Amino acid sequence: MKLDTRRSEISLAVVAALATAAAGAVPSTALASKAPGKYLAGDFHNHTTCSDGSTSMQTVVKKSTDKLDTPWGLDWFVQAGHGGNGNRNCTLVEDESLGTPAFPYVEGQGPATTWAGSIGAANVKGNFGLTSATPDTPLSTRANPSMWRWQSLQEFQYPLMEYLYAYRGVPLFLGLESVVAGHEHSSMAVISGQMPATIHSTPLPGAPPYMALGDATALAQWSYCFDRGATDNSRGGANAWDCSVTGSLNSADPSWNSTARKLFPTGSGVGSGVGLKGHNKTVEAMKWMKEFHPKGSYYVPAHLERAGPFNPDGNNGFNVEHLRNFNNAAPMVAFGFETQPGHHASDQRGEYTVNRNNFFGVRVDSVGGTTYGGTGVYGAQIGGVWDALLGEGRNFWFFGSSDWHNRGMFGTDDRRSTQDFYPGEYQRNYTVVRDGADPKLTPQAIVDGLRSGNTWVDSGQLIDRLAFIACASYPGPAARTNAAVENLAVNAAKNGTDIAVAGCATMGEKLKVQPGAEIVVSIVVRDPAGTSYSPYSFPNPSLLQIGINQPMNAPVLDHIDVIGGQVTGYRKPGKPGYAGEWPRDWIDSYLIGGAPSLASVPAAAKNTSAAVIKTFNATTWMPVAGDPEFKKMTFRIPAVASSQYVRLRGTNLPAGVPWETDADGNPLPDVWTNSSVVNPSVPGATDGVPENGNLRIKCTTVGTSVPSNDVVYTGDAIDGCPEHMPVVGGSKYVALDVAAWADLWFYSNPIFVEVRGSTRVAGVK
């Protein structure tokens, strides 16, 4: 056989073939970059008269989102009152100023008007429920029935919320502060069905009724199925709900109630196991959300230290293992905790206190005994529960919310408070929201932002912009300079955006690197000029103790701590290091002038590798040229060999402020500004503390513009210690809202660094 061809022809053909191959090797599509996102401020835990709040839905929406009358107005807002039931109609407004065409003021009625007095008892659905001797009796037979939350969400609160979203043009949706089976409370939402896009193109009616285009049926069903307070067994009447979860025991679970078609843990007292059974029900709730609304739901335990540790025979607090259980069951749903509670103006900040809880006759502290700079011990203690969870590489994020109920001794419109701040007035979750080209923020974009972990939490407008980024750098061509990374952060902070550069990460993300990489960490904050939303212009009494004269309403960021910790992998259920209760006597050593040690904390609840690795202050950060409100600071973590994370906290208080911060800059327990009575450890004991007995910081400024407690004060320039400060021995002391405005902190969520060959950061994409 002879091939009558020339080599050159074959070569040409080969070249052509190679060219074809090359054409097939065109660059693949680069990874889709992140949609543009901005940090927007929001709140997802607050109350109306439908639960135990004091205002209508319209009032809380207006107070929370109006940027004129209430300049702290938020960018997004989730109205989330308690689950269970309530007998007041929060959809009725207080006066004509709050009325809208579709929901006008009704003469003689308001948000305290009962359902019976507004819609009529006959229209209240469901039945007496499983805690009643006659569970099947219709509620409508009662003269003044409380409405199950599922009905108020589905039929009354949602249509109003949808209308207000369209009417006011502010992103809103409905959630719950669930009364948790086996625990105390959690902020949660199921957004499926809420706020369809058509609401923005559908004309609003000029008069009642407003016919909702979407619905909160999924949230209402969750409320019926899983809220501890929802003892109704009606299956939601015509909804005919069934609370089964695929693959779970359901009817084979001893707690299953076949009439209600849901788990209903029973029992009480020592040995009842009702707490354990309740916890298991709540884990089923996680599974339900994961099964039916995997992207449209979230679940965030609220003020989770307040009710003490977990009680297997009651419904109290959360231990670290319960957070792990939730996150294991539904990591994209149970992705964080509200360890910075609301109620900052309360006489027991956050409503946390010593001996708060009664475990069958034994007084038990809120976990940690109190808050620390306004944050619960789980989030505030370096190396504590939060670091333990982050040290596993879990997606578990820090949030704060107002828990707005009322203003204590003051009226709704007063700028002073002895109980709560309005959503956005004091605390703000700054969450990156990627709305893409859609000018209307959707609930989904907000939930996605919360889930991403790209959130930082501020109190008291200490800072209002933050860029926190980490970039990989390698010697040679892939080297990155501090200046280049810092410039990226400056631009992000100025624009209020996050970053989208390969080889860089921000909060809630992980940076995957090779061993030996350097990590360039850059932080840019804006410490805004002007005044905050505090009504107090007199000098901060806490800072006056150390000779710093700084107006309360013009706080200055003192320093930022960078906290780093190692990631060592997930703890396995049932194995050592998975479960453990925070020491019940944590605060005791503080109360006698000492400080507790992590040595007393079980391994499950701590990460001893966590520490402050860097501190920046006015001598080490630099102002941004031309815009000195912005401070920039950058450092490098050299040659990383193991997976780790970095996170931030910052405050207006230097280290060593008496009764506020320790010598290392850690927040001290807020017990020293709590004016409430502290219960004795057991009835009749003498270890209780009388009202004002713990106060330590004098408030000495005498002003010329200090309104009486009896008038409604709507201004913002109280120049002396206000009249409602407690007086001890003739001197005013810092407590209540002044204590909150004096003691400001921000917390960022972490950036993970996953080093090849080291522990995988499993919980973060």
Partner 1 sequence: MKTRFIAVLSAGLLSATPAFATSITLDFEGPTSFASIDRFYSGGTDSAGAAGPDLGVKFGFDALGLRNDELGPYFSNAPSPIGVMVAVGPGATMNYAGGFKGLASVYYSSAAAATVAIWSGLNGTGTELGSFVLNNNATEGCADSPFCNWSLASFDIGDASIARSITFGSAASLGAFDNLTIDTVPEPGSGMALAVGVAMIGFAARRRRAG
Segment interacting with partner 1 (CB under 8 A) among 78-86, 361-369, 479-487, 694-702: 479-487
* DSSP element (H, E) containing 623: strand 622-624
Residue of 106, 276, 501, 717 interacting with partner 1 (CB under 8 A):
501
Residue of 132, 251, 495, 514 interacting with partner 1 (CB under 8 A):
514
Q: How many residues bind partner 1 (CB under 8 A)?
A: 48
- The one-character DSSP state at 227 is B
Cβ proximity of 496 and 39 under 8 Å: yes
Give me the least distance between CB of 605 and partner 1, in Å please: 33
Cβ closer to partner 1: 1 or 68? 1
Measure the CA–CA gap between 719 and 220, rounded to whole angstroms.
47
Give me the least distance between CB of 501 and partner 1, in Å please: 5
Cβ closer to partner 1: 122 or 641? 641
Cβ closer to partner 1: 202 or 481? 481
Cβ closer to partner 1: 14 or 409? 14
Q: Distance from CA of residue 416 to its chain's centroid?
A: 23
- Regarding 480 and contact with partner 1 (CB under 8 A), the answer is yes
Biggest CA pair distance of the chain: 118
- Regarding 3 and contact with partner 1 (CB under 8 A), the answer is yes
- The one-character DSSP state at 196 is -
Give me the least distance between CB of 764 and partner 1, in Å please: 14
- Regarding 479 and contact with partner 1 (CB under 8 A), the answer is yes
Give me the least distance between CB of 480 and partner 1, in Å please: 5
- Regarding 504 and contact with partner 1 (CB under 8 A), the answer is yes
- Regarding 636 and contact with partner 1 (CB under 8 A), the answer is no
- Regarding 74 and contact with partner 1 (CB under 8 A), the answer is no
Cβ proximity of 720 and 705 under 8 Å: yes
* Site track for partner 1 across 89-118, x = CB under 8 A: ------------------------------
Segment interacting with partner 1 (CB under 8 A) among 86-94, 186-194, 482-490, 535-543: 482-490
Instruction: Give the CA angle between residues 699, 701, 706 to the nearest 5°.
Output: 105
Residue of 409, 478, 546, 702 interacting with partner 1 (CB under 8 A):
478
Measure the CA–CA gap between 339 and 53, rounded to whole angstroms.
21
Measure the CA–CA gap between 524 and 623, rounded to whole angstroms.
9
Residue 548: closest CA among 622, 618, 623, 628 = 618
Provide the H-helix boundaries in 553-628.
588-591
- Regarding 711 and contact with partner 1 (CB under 8 A), the answer is no
Cβ closer to partner 1: 11 or 709? 11
Cβ proximity of 52 and 92 under 8 Å: no
- Regarding 569 and contact with partner 1 (CB under 8 A), the answer is no
Measure the CA–CA gap between 131 and 628, rounded to whole angstroms.
61
Cβ closer to partner 1: 29 or 619? 29
- Which residue type occupies 353? T
Cβ closer to partner 1: 179 or 485? 485
149: CB partners within 8 A, 6+ apart: 50, 51, 81, 82, 83, 84, 85, 86, 176, 220, 223, 227, 229, 230
- Regarding 476 and contact with partner 1 (CB under 8 A), the answer is yes
Give me the least distance between CB of 518 and partner 1, in Å please: 11
Give me the least distance between CB of 503 and partner 1, in Å please: 3
Q: Distance from CA of residue 705 to its chain's centroid?
A: 35
Segment interacting with partner 1 (CB under 8 A) among 5-13, 191-199, 200-208, 575-583: 5-13
Measure the CA–CA gap between 398 and 386, rounded to whole angstroms.
8
Cβ closer to partner 1: 21 or 529? 21
Measure the CA–CA gap between 350 and 403, rounded to whole angstroms.
9
Tell me the C-alpha to C-alpha distance, in Å, between residue 65 and each of 73, 369, 649: 4, 33, 26
Segment interacting with partner 1 (CB under 8 A) among 17-25, 63-71, 214-222, 539-547: 17-25
Cβ closer to partner 1: 220 or 519? 519
Measure the CA–CA gap between 69 and 74, rounded to whole angstroms.
12
Instruction: Please count the other Cβ atoms lying within 10 Å of the Cβ belonging to residue 720.
Output: 19
Segment interacting with partner 1 (CB under 8 A) among 166-174, 367-375, 475-483, 686-694: 475-483
Residue 91: closest CA among 267, 215, 209 = 209
Give me the least distance between CB of 479 and partner 1, in Å please: 8
Measure the CA–CA gap between 514 and 344, rounded to whole angstroms.
44
Cβ proximity of 605 and 586 under 8 Å: no
87: CB partners within 8 A, 6+ apart: 114, 115, 116, 144, 145, 146, 147
- Regarding 639 and contact with partner 1 (CB under 8 A), the answer is no
* Site track for partner 1 across 26-45, x = CB under 8 A: xxxxxx--------------
Give me the least distance between CB of 482 and partner 1, in Å please: 11
Residue of 247, 271, 477, 626 interacting with partner 1 (CB under 8 A):
477
Cβ closer to partner 1: 266 or 491? 491
Cβ closer to partner 1: 23 or 238? 23
Cβ closer to partner 1: 23 or 592? 23
Residue of 382, 462, 471, 740 interacting with partner 1 (CB under 8 A):
471
Give me the least distance between CB of 497 and partner 1, in Å please: 13
- Regarding 484 and contact with partner 1 (CB under 8 A), the answer is yes
Residue of 124, 385, 485, 601 interacting with partner 1 (CB under 8 A):
485
Start-to-end Cα distance in the chain: 61
Measure the CA–CA gap between 719 and 647, rounded to whole angstroms.
36
Cβ closer to partner 1: 9 or 710? 9
Beta bridge partners of 188: 176, 299
**β-strands 397-400, 336-340: how paired?**
parallel
Give me the least distance between CB of 625 and partner 1, in Å please: 18
- Which residue type occupies 275? G
* 11 three-state secondary structure: helix
Segment interacting with partner 1 (CB under 8 A) among 8-16, 368-376, 404-412, 435-443: 8-16
Residue of 475, 576, 658, 683 interacting with partner 1 (CB under 8 A):
475
Tell me the C-alpha to C-alpha distance, in Å, between residue 379 and each of 262, 369, 674: 34, 14, 20
Cβ proximity of 45 and 140 under 8 Å: no
Residue of 189, 191, 320, 488 interacting with partner 1 (CB under 8 A):
488
Measure the CA–CA gap between 427 and 463, rounded to whole angstroms.
11
* Site track for partner 1 across 515-544, x = CB under 8 A: xxx---------------------------
Structure tokens at 632: 């920039």
Cβ closer to partner 1: 191 or 488? 488
Beta bridge partners of 337: 398
Cβ closer to partner 1: 11 or 132? 11
Cβ proximity of 174 and 161 under 8 Å: yes
- Regarding 762 and contact with partner 1 (CB under 8 A), the answer is no
The contact set with partner 1 (CB under 8 A) reads 1-6, 9-10, 12-14, 16-18, 20-22, 24-31, 471-472, 474-481, 484-485, 488, 501-504, 512, 514-517, 756
